[in-house]
């Protein structure tokens, strides 16, 4: 029986008080008896939590009471067992490491983020083979090669990167192949494809989108259409199916 409620969420927002916030959130998560990982940086928050649904939702309600996190929108799934062993809250230089300091979604703000496409729109584009302007659509997997090997969108571009810091150079190497296409970057939960889309726009690609909420939100809203295999997740579940259940080993 699936009684463990799992969420992942992120938000790019300036957090100059990240070290102080670390202690507050760690104490609060322990009070709710949650397990998982929260990463904090000057550029924002990235979190993965699991526990009873009431506790997880209570934690998120408290988090949203801080106006900086009012817009946090978790991706949700269920499991029969707790996928984390402990509760960790860490402060990092970046919540997702890219090593490209001009890419700061928290500084750009909502007006500066790359355009996002929701799951149902992407499914429609893939169904029809082009975007609403008739332009060919390609999906670009921004994840590491071992994650892609678990599953991806049909025909997705995969540059076989071993870590996200390799993405900028890979994009520059292949930029000419994408110039006349609508490019939709995607990743597990949205955080990497958000930075990737900003970098592509900075590099001069004119028709760039990010998949809002990543693969997990796509599974929630569009099921498994145009996707093959599972989605790797960074906890003891290892991977989830398109219905967000734990994938068989």
Question: Do 113 and 86 share a domain, yes or no?
Answer: no
| Domain ranges, residue 15 | 4-91
Q: How many domains does the chain contain in total?
A: 2
Q: Same structural domain for residues 113 and 222?
A: yes
CATH of the domain at 211: 3.40.250.10
Does the residue 248 lie in any domain?
no
Q: Are residues 57 and 116 in the same domain?
A: no
HSE at residue 93, side-chain half, CA atoms within 13 A, is 5
pLDDT at 216: 96
* Residue 232: both structure tokens together: 């790797």
203 and 130 in one domain? yes
To the query of whether residue 193 is one of the catalytic residues in this protein, the response is no
How large is the average pLDDT for residues 38-44?
A: 97
Query: Do 77 and 141 sit in the same domain of this protein?
Result: no
Gap between the Cα atoms of 145 and 159, Å rounded: 8
Q: CATH number for the domain including 17? A: 3.30.70.100
pLDDT in tens, 70-88: 999 999 999 999 999 999 9
pTM beyond 0.85, yes or no = yes
From CA 113, how far away is CA 136, in angstroms rounded? 23
Q: Are residues 140 and 211 in the same domain?
A: yes
Tens-digit pLDDT profile for residues 47-73:
999 999 999 999 999 999 999 999 999
Taking only Cα atoms into account, the Rg of the chain, rounded to an integer number of angstroms, comes to 18
Residue 112 exposure: Cα atoms within 13 Å on the Cβ side: 13
Q: Which of 37, 61, 91 is at the close of a domain?
A: 91
Selected catalytic residue, list 187, 205, 216, 240: 187
Residue with tokens 């004119």: 206
């Amino acid at each position: 029986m699936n009684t463990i409620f799992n969420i992942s969420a992120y938000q790019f927002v300036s957090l100059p008080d990240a070290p102080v916030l670390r202690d507050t959130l760690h104490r609060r998560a322990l009070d709710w008896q949650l397990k998982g990982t929260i990463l904090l940086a000057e550029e924002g928050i990235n979190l993965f939590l699991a526990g009873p649904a009431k506790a997880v939702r209570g934690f998120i309600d408290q988090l949203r009471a801080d106006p900086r996190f009012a817009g946090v929108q978790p991706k949700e799934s269920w499991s029969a067992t707790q996928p984390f062993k402990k509760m960790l809250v860490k402060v990092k230089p970046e919540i997702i490491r890219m090593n490209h300091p001009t890419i700061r979604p928290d500084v750009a703000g909502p007006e500066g983020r790359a355009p996002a496409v929701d799951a149902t729109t992407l499914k429609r584009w893939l169904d029809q083979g082009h975007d609403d302007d008739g332009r060919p659509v390609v999906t670009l997997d921004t994840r590491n090669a071992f994650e892609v090997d678990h599953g991806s969108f049909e025909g997705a571009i995969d540059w076989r990167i071993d870590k996200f810091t390799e993405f900028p150079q890979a994009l520059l190497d292949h930029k000419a192949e994408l110039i006349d296409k609508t490019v939709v970057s995607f990743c597990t939960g949205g955080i990497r494809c958000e930075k990737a889309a900003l970098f592509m726009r900075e590099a001069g690609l004119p028709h760039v989108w990010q998949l809002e909420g990543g693969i997990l939100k796509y599974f929630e809203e569009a099921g498994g259409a145009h996707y093959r295999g599972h989605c790797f997740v960074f906890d003891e579940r290892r991977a989830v199916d398109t219905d967000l259940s734990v994938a068989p080993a």
